[in-house]
Structure 1
């Protein structure tokens, strides 16, 4: 039968193109079949799959010859199938016109990994439809969709500070005797794209040559197949500091490096991992670079305002300070009479008393700042009067008559 009998054969997802799914959600859509005239269909089925694949080739020497080794591994997260027209041994006749066949799949809750495309592997999710007709070629449609598993950086492990120290001795024959050391620290491990990482570092140059400190964020892609590992490193952003003169030291007090738009970390896949590190290094003349790496995790859920105390104030670059005006009324009301709120017998108790040296105020700093703002927001001022309620007796100093 001529293919012209099918005007269109399309696969539509209920969400628009570019939509992102996560584990536990429902993937739904419909197959649209528009016919110029009636056709006979044996079966039509739709299936959805999620697969991670790693693959690369390596040349190795075997005696005098060179052999090519193929490294391949695959991990399937789910595979579901649904029959839209079941093959019962007979054909189904579809009349001319537009036909819609809805379908839906429940994605697994925890087994999914974020979609990824790398040099030696990928994590892909797709929906495929197959149309079988008698005495005709099989018609196929395939549409991919994106899955992102959320990573919340508001956890103790990802809010912990990261620090390290390294040193290296320069080579003597390069006339650069001495040692270079670097110490770096960041306030947490988890970040999201668009945030700024403040770097605190110290560089000590005990050599006779000038050294240049630098920093960069590196993405590390790791592929595993047949017990062999393949890695690919790429720099996503970098910065350069001021040169450190011989026998001098320099410090970074929160040098900022901004995270560009990058994919989230992939840490729970058996054959593919995507990791990030903050690399602080120094170019030392006459020797290899002195490099210090601090691990990073790129998440999808940003840091909550007033987060854990383990994150320092310098980590709040990307926070929105709009909370300051959330509790402020548009038009403040005039304060009430002070004596109608505080009785006379309680006025003595309202007066502040100096704290004793034994009192502990450490717990007060752990409370939310907004609680203190609410506590003092509606405290009315005392009454004001220009007439002194307790006048002092007027006393005139007697004038000396001899003057």
Structure 2
């Protein structure tokens, strides 16, 4: 007869979107339902974030495999300490509360593609003697707060192109295009305006495409994917006519977010406004587009301060005990399919601003630097984070009266080493007074104006600087 009826893990949502970001605190419960009394060796919960890419390429008879891995953090908390062979749990439901702090810094948003993924997981594992470990998992929807400078990304974009047509038509075509801004969130509408002057002998069709470019990187090799996620076709512009078109593209909720802070996976968007001309190269204008989480854009539009980040950079709302990281701006690398455009980069650490009354002090430590690992955490995990005191009171609320509720482990107390004995200062040493020296006599004060018009000669040198000692002539 099995002893475990159910083993699950749940987390508490921080916002209406159910997302987590850098510096947030993950709280939740691990529920263990036992059918009979059970001896347990250990029970722990861990949170981790990883990025992986993998693809194969066949060359002749050989197949090359490319793969890469990046770990952003891994946190572990024991709910039943490891090696507790004498821990016997009675029959019934046992609910264990946990609390884990995501480290601050720049980490990419969740992503899943054909050749790679960025996944953040919450895992609980129960170990018993001579039994297979029981595992419960829950995926976290992670949204990065490290975004480009929204103040710059909300400005209007303007582009222009002029082209002489080819052999099959004569004349010149000129097009000016504008996009209302660069950064958009799900549900927002992108407004595009184009003015076309067709001075050629050919008709042309204006088209607008929103393209997503994904790049996977591994072992000095890249894998590219380009997909048109939205396309608009306007009415034909006749020869020797002018026309202005205006259209809107609504950003769906299922669009992938822009990712520029991952070393092995990059997600970019660009808008292409072009004229389809038969038997000729199409004139086109490209605009960079950034897809952001809705809470970040809405917070910026409402004027809510998302954090004291310099340079206008803001982040999404955070419920973390960690203050938001300081940032500095830099250029993004050019997208391989974007025509070489660039736009501001994600946030990175920089020197803190001065602390004024209206500007509270911020976290000034460098990234990936945390205090020493508490004793209740397992050794060998990257980016250990100190566990905070339990934010949960007692008793805990529960729908089942027979459940045993276990609060998070207490924070270990560290005793400071005994202080060194006080050292008595030595009595001040009395130094002898410095000897006095007789200074050379200064030149006598003269009351004669040497610059006035006079026939008198200048005073003798001996009169100005008399000798301090009497010189004796040797008679030579």
Other-structure match for 1:284: 277
Within 2, Cα distance between the matches of 1:18 and 1:192? 13
| Alpha-carbon shift at residue 82 of structure 1 (Å) | 1.2
Answer with 1 or 2: which has the greater Rg: 2
| Alpha-carbon shift at residue 151 of structure 1 (Å) | 6.4
Q: Which moved more, 1:15-24 or 1:293-302?
A: 15-24
Other-structure match for 1:9: 7
Other-structure match for 1:48: 47
Point out where structure 1 has 5 or more consecutive residues left out of the alignment. 308-403
Structure 1 SS opposite 2:214: strand
CA contact (8 A) 1:217 1:277 kept: yes
Deviations 1:314-363 (A, max 9, x none): xxxxxxxxxxxxxxxxxxxxxxxxxxxxxxxxxxxxxxxxxxxxxxxxxx
Q: Give the superposed CA RMSD.
A: 2.6
Greater share of helix: 1
Point out where structure 2 has 5 or more consecutive residues left out of the alignment. 305-476
Distance 1:98 1:89, change over 3 A: closer
Within 1, Cα distance between the matches of 2:148 and 2:190? 14
Other-structure match for 2:247: 255
Deviations 1:281-300 (A, max 9, x none): 11111134333210111223
Other-structure match for 2:227: 234
Structure 1 SS opposite 2:136: strand
CA contact (8 A) 1:236 1:260 kept: no
Within 1, Cα distance between the matches of 2:232 and 2:8? 48
Q: 1:97 is matched with which residue: 62, 86, 92?
A: 92
| Alpha-carbon shift at residue 167 of structure 1 (Å) | 4.0
- Alignment map for 1:216-231 (pairs within 5 Å): 216-231=209-224
Other-structure match for 2:22: 23
CA contact (8 A) 2:206 2:235 kept: yes
Other-structure match for 1:66: 61
Other-structure match for 2:193: 200
CA contact (8 A) 1:265 1:297 kept: yes
Within 1, Cα distance between the matches of 2:303 and 2:73? 39
Within 2, Cα distance between the matches of 1:204 and 1:225? 46
**Matched residue count:** 298
| Alpha-carbon shift at residue 153 of structure 1 (Å) | 7.5
Structure 2 SS opposite 1:156: helix
Distance 1:82 1:234, change over 3 A: same
Other-structure match for 2:327: none
Distance 1:149 1:136, change over 3 A: same
Distance 1:162 1:7, change over 3 A: same
Distance 1:15 1:188, change over 3 A: closer
Within 2, Cα distance between the matches of 1:44 and 1:7? 16
Does residue 269 of structure 1 match 2:262? Answer: yes
Other-structure match for 1:304: 301
Greater share of strand: 1
Distance 1:211 1:120, change over 3 A: same
